């Protein structure tokens, strides 16, 4: 696929929080961000979310047909509402992640989606990185690097994504390429919203701690948080990555607490895991820019801010949409894959050499709906 300039790419992301699908258009050549296009969101229904939860931890040889159908249908419905796009970046849904063992598993058939939508689709972004010894995650850092350039940053900065799992990207904007030595350091920080959401769903039937209200009126169990921070993951040198269920012992530890105290303790664990992560940065970032659903939780944001020695700001203060950064990232990465540019490197996933991950699937027929010509 020959790309000689910026194109309209559509990225889609269904994260570990299992709340729904984000989709966003980005105008990019895979290096520069030229413009931000429209975006949309499709929330999973309660039965869909329950089915996806049942599939967590399953591998390709397991029965994942129900989850795969939900992911394909949901993306088909959402993405078909976008017009005039040249390329789609389709992440799918991560069900299991064990890069040092069985690998990584994202359900969702990009070739099928390309046929349905009549647009080329880049998918299976993580497998090549894992095959070459990388963690396969996080993958947004190359987009974060492009954002730092778009922001005209001059000092080191960091992006913190508070999704189901938290992840941090440290950036030196003085570097000219994301794969350059020292340009990026990225890794998962610990749990963000996943365990908190799971606990509240099980206890109260609520999908999340809306406005951080439960945690705000609870008391933190310091002993549980201290035991959580002794987990071996926090002593590993990054790059490193997590599965959604790595910290199940933390979820089990709060079962004896009341609802508000459990929420406060889980939120504090997230905050202190972010503080621990910042200790690995090559230099203190001037600002930590926050995206993902956790930034809507004022209690979580206050706890993080009180735990770290640098400025914490939602990405909206930089003119960005913090709900759509990951979807935009997969639009950006799709263009990089189509151009043969790297999507991960040693500093982001620990892979031995910079690698361009992802599979490009083209539709066999003409576009099923109007779109711009693929360059």
Q: Are 243 and 96 in contact (CB under 8 A)?
A: yes
**pLDDT at residue 366, as a whole number:** 45
- What long-range pairs does 242-245 form, CB within 8 A, spacing at least 24? 242/97, 242/165, 242/188, 242/190, 242/191, 243/96, 243/97, 243/98, 244/16, 244/56, 244/94, 244/97, 244/164, 244/165, 244/194, 245/56, 245/57
Mode of pairing for the β-strands spanning 7-14 and 87-98: parallel
pLDDT tens-digit profile of 334-366?
999 999 999 999 999 999 999 999 999 999 964
What residues does 14 pair with on adjacent strands? 21, 93
Give the HSE-up count for residue 164: Cα atoms under 13 Å, Cβ half-sphere.
Answer: 25
Identify which of 80, 290, 92 has the alpha carbon closest to the alpha carbon of residue 189: 290
Residue ranges of the domains in the chain?
A: 7-133+334-340, 141-318
Domains 7-133+334-340 and 141-318 share a fold: yes
Identify which of 208, 145, 164, 204 has the alpha carbon closest to the alpha carbon of residue 344: 145
- Percent of the chain residues topping a pLDDT of 90: 90
Residue 58 to residue 151: CA distance in whole angstroms:
40
100 confidence band (pLDDT: 50, 70, 90): confident
Class of domain 7-133+334-340: alpha beta
Judged against a pLDDT cut of 50, whether residue 180 lies above it is answered with: yes
Judged against a pLDDT cut of 80, whether residue 67 lies above it is answered with: yes
Instruction: For the chain, give the mean pLDDT.
Output: 94
> The pTM is what?
0.92
Domain 141-318 = CATH 3.30.530.20: no
């Amino acid at each position: 696929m020959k790309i000689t300039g910026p194109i309209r790419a559509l990225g889609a992301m269904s994260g570990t929080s299992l709340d729904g699908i984000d989709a966003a258009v980005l105008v990019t050549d895979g290096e520069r961000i030229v413009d931000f296009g429209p975006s949309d969101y499709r929330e999973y229904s309660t039965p869909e979310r329950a089915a996806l939860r049942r599939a967590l931890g399953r591998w390709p040889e397991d029965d994942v047909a129900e989850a795969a159908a939900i992911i394909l249908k949901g993306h088909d419905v959402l993405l078909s509402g976008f017009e005039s796009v040249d390329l789609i970046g389709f992440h799918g849904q991560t069900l299991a992640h064990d890069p040092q063992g069985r690998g990584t598993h994202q359900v969702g058939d990009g070739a099928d989606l390309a046929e349905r939508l009549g647009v080329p689709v880049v998918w299976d972004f993580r497998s090549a990185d894992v095959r070459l010894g990388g963690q396969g995650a996080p993958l947004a850092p190359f987009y974060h690097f492009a954002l730092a350039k778009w922001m005209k940053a001059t000092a080191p900065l960091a992006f913190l994504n508070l999704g189901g799992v938290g992840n941090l990207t440290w950036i030196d904007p003085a570097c000219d390429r994301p794969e350059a030595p020292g340009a990026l350091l990225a890794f998962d920080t610990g749990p963000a919203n996943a365990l908190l959401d799971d606990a509240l769903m099980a206890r109260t039937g609520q999908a999340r701690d809306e406005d951080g209200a439960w945690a705000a009126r609870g008391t933190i169990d310091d002993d549980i948080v201290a035991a959580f921070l002794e987990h071996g993951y926090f002593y590993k040198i990054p790059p490193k990555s997590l599965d959604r269920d790595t910290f199940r012992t933390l979820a089990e530890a709060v079962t004896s607490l009341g609802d508000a105290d459990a929420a406060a303790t889980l939120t504090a664990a997230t905050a202190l895991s972010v503080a621990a992560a910042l200790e690995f940065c090559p230099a203190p970032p001037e600002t930590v820019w926050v995206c993902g659903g956790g930034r809507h939780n004022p209690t979580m944001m206050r706890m993080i801010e009180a735990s770290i020695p640098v400025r914490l700001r939602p990405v909206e203060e930089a003119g960005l949409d913090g709900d759509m950064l990951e979807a935009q990232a997969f639009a950006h990465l799709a263009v990089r894959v189509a151009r043969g540019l790297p999507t991960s490197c040693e500093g982001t996933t620990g892979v031995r050499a910079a690698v361009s991950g992802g599979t490009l699937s083209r539709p066999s027929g003409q576009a099923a709906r109007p779109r711009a010509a693929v360059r």
